[in-house]
């Protein structure tokens, strides 16, 4: 799986929110802590808010926070919001003795999906 820079920024921003004390976290603080260009971050935060993963509050005391506990948000949740559902090429056209390679690619895809849906942001923060 290829993870875009935008998705990596989104994962880092959500991790920052998961590690923050309760209450709104200003976007500028997230950008500085994670070295994310502010313009990209604002668009990412908007996308995450529209998807219901984070909440926001405007104003001088405003910022962003997780919409659910970090234990309930997985890496896959964020990746799907930013990248969409992954599309995998079919690998069924291997001839002869190479045909079992299609099964390898299928198992790899299933393992990848399983891993990303099991790891929560609470686990990431805990291991930091």
**Tens of pLDDT, residue by residue, the chain (128 residues):** 788 999 999 999 999 999 999 999 999 999 999 999 999 999 999 999 999 999 999 999 999 999 999 999 999 999 999 998 766 556 567 888 988 888 888 888 889 989 999 999 999 999 98
Rounded CA separation 42/125 (Å)? 22
* Predicted pLDDT of residue 45: 98
* Predicted pLDDT of residue 126: 96
pTM above 0.85, yes or no: yes
* Predicted pLDDT of residue 87: 64
* Predicted pLDDT of residue 91: 58
Residues facing 63 on adjacent strands: 57
CATH class for the region spanning 5-90+120-126: mainly alpha
* Predicted pLDDT of residue 119: 97
* Predicted pLDDT of residue 89: 58
For residue 104, how many C-alpha atoms fall within 13 Å in the half-sphere facing its CB? 5
């Amino acid at each position: 799986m290829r993870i875009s820079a935008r998705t990596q920024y989104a994962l880092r921003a959500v991790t920052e929110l998961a590690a923050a004390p309760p209450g709104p976290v200003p976007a500028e603080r997230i950008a500085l802590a994670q070295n994310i260009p502010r313009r990209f971050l604002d668009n990412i935060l908007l996308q995450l808010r529209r998807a219901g993963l984070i909440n926001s509050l405007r104003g001088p005391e405003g910022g962003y926070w997780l919409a659910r506990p970090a234990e309930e948000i997985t890496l896959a949740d964020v990746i799907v919001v930013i990248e969409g559902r992954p599309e995998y090429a079919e690998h069924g056209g291997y001839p002869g003795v190479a045909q079992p390679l299609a099964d390898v690619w299928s198992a790899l895809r299933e393992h990848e999906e399983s891993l990303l849906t099991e790891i929560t942001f609470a686990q990431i923060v805990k291991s930091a």
